[in-house]
Every structure is written in structure tokens, then in C-alpha cells.
Amino acid sequence: MAKENGDNIILIGVMGAGKTCVGLKLSWKLKKPVEDTDKMIEKKKGCSISEIFRTEGEEAFRQMETQLLQEIKSRKYGRILSVGGGLPVREENRRLLKECGTVVYLRVRPETIYERLKADKSRPLLQCEDPLGRIRALLEERKEAYESCADLILDADEIDVNACADRIAEMVGKMKNRKKPHEQAVTERKRKKLLVINGPNLNFLGIREKAIYGNQDYEYMKSLIAKKADECGCAIEVFQSNHEGAIIDRIQEAYFDGTEGIVINPGAYTHYSYAIHDALASIAGIPKVEIHISDITKREDFRKVSVTAPACDRQIYGYGLDGYLMAIDEVLSRIENRNLRTPSK
């Protein structure tokens, strides 16, 4: 079955298999955001999983997992996903998992799980007279469900977290490198030249206001864009300055250096720099998209006003670092449409 988003890597396995730790290592290694389905549901419901079980029951929780997978399937950009241990038990969830991306089963022995979790009093399933026996029974119950939906199975008892992440990245990479003919053709086309401009304080990502701008730093963002460049066969330069004049100079240079599209996050200059607006407007023939990491419509009043956006073709905001990837796609689409409208000589 075709996967809706083959860029997702989904980690499944029983509690204590190492999904959270491996997911974090994979996130840094592959430059992909990492998310945990249990935490996503807790955030959406505003309460803990145990509270959901207590007030609404397990069946209601499993339905929430199914709904979440349906949302994940429709997302455009890939992530590392660590899913709850019981999520694959439901047949519909197994089907959705396979449609969502590459499913990796971290398989471990009961004894390994027991050693990892024996001191953890937060696991209700293990608060019994024979926790090891309970783990064995749980693994036996879920064995077929886990194995039937897994694209890759990795025995994770003896190898450490780093080695495990390296092995998964290697196996997934081999799968993705088996390119289809049309995918090979994309890489052989002429590389388009794009420019991503970041304004003041963007170099302080991961340091400034993490609740608004996230924990990932500026180097992570650059790596995310570099990965996107490889995927779409483009040459993408990332430029950052805290100085208005330097940003204007770079916009003007783009007119002469063959840049075909611009993604710009003007930072605070968004709200008052008519000089940057004029520079963008002066290169009308180049597609331009303004991007903001946060949802500026839900912040202070002054942030809701952009004097630079009218000089761009579109404004994207509120999608975190994924907004850069969306903006790149938008610029590429506009370049393609422009080329289709231009008659060949």
C-alpha cells in the first residue's frame, strides 16, 4: 500500500523498548522534529493518559489514537513519531501506521524491559505481584500486531541508543534510495537557486522565548532547509543578519546573482521596515514568500501588522520551522507556473 507520507519514521514497541530515547537521537541525526502520540493526545485533551482512561475508558482513548493517526497521515512534512505501546493493537491503527510512513519495531526481550522499568512506579500495568510475567504476557499478546505492521524490525536489547538510531537511519536510507524513475528524473533536472533570508534575532533560535519559537536552534533550522534542498534538487542559500542594510543589500544582490525565488523572515523588521518592503518590491519578477515561525495573529497587536508582506506573493505563519519548508514549496510552485506560462523560444 502506498504511503501518504513516506518521510515519517514511526517507532513502535512495548513500554520500555526505548522509543523516546531513540526518537530523540533520530531527530538530531536526521534533522526531523520528534513527537510522541501520547503527549500529543494529552496536550489536545488537557489531561493525562491515566485520567483519560479513568474518565472516558480505554476504547475512547484508542479512538483518539486513530483520529490522531488520520491527522498525521495528511501532514505534508515528515517527523519521527513514537507511538503508545497499545496503539498498534487496533487493526485500523495498523493500517494507518503503514500509510503514515516507515514503521520500525523496536523488539526487546521481557527481561530487558523488566530491568529497565522495575524501579518505575508510574507504570500501572507493572504494579502487580509478578511484573516480569505481566511483561511476558503483554509481549505475547502484541507480538503479531507489532510484527504485522512493521517495515523494519530491530532487536534493541544489546545496542545502545546511538547505535540503534544509526542503524535505523541506515536501514531507512537504503529503503529511500531505491528511487522510482520519476524521482530520479527530479534529481537530474537543473537545480533551481533559492534564497532564504532571516532577519534580526533568528540566529538566537533555541535560546530566545522557547515557548514561542521552540527548542530547536538556528543550526537545526539550517540543516532542515539543507535537507529540503537535497530532496527537491535545489541550491538554497540561507542568509541571516541583524542589520537592516545588510538584508537590503542581499535582496538587491539576488536580482543579479541568478536567484529564482526568495523566502524571507524579516523578524521585527516585518512591522516597520518600509526599506525592506521597497527592496522586495523592486525585484517584482522573483517569487517571494514571507514566513513567521509563530502565529503573529495571536500575539501582541504590533506583531499583527506586516509592512513587508504586501511586497511578497504570500505570507505563511504559525507552522513553526515547517513554515520554511512550506514557503520553499510555494516558491517552487510559483517558479514552475511562471515557467509554464513563458513560451519557449
CB-based burial label for 18 (10 Å; 0-12, 13-18, 19+): buried
Q: Which amino acid is at 260?
A: E
Cα angle vertex 112, ends 107, 118, to 5°? 130
Residue 316 cell numbers, joined = 505563511
Report the relative pairing of strands 261-265 and 288-292 from DSSP bridges. Answer: parallel
Nearest to 172 by CA among 3, 1, 316: 3
Q: Which amino acid is at 191?
A: R
Tell me if residue 277 is catalytic: no
State residue 172 phi and psi, 5-degree precision: -65, -40
Can you say how many angstroms the Cα of residue 224 is from the centroid of all Cα atoms in its chain? 9
Tell me if residue 105 is catalytic: no
Q: Give the 3-state DSSP-derived string for 41-102, with helices as H, strands as E and coil as C.
A: HHHHHCCCHHHHHHHHCHHHHHHHHHHHHHHHHHCCCCCEEECCCCHHHCHHHHHHHHHHCE
256 secondary structure, DSSP code: H
**Catalytic residue (one of 105, 213, 319, 324):** 213
CB-based burial label for 16 (10 Å; 0-12, 13-18, 19+): buried
Report the relative pairing of strands 192-198 and 234-240 from DSSP bridges. Answer: parallel
**Catalytic residue (one of 292, 317, 319, 324):** 292
Give the separation between CA 275 and CA 203, rounded to whole angstroms. 22
Nearest to 93 by CA among 131, 50, 168, 37: 37
Report, as residue numbers or ranges, the catalytic residues: 213, 292
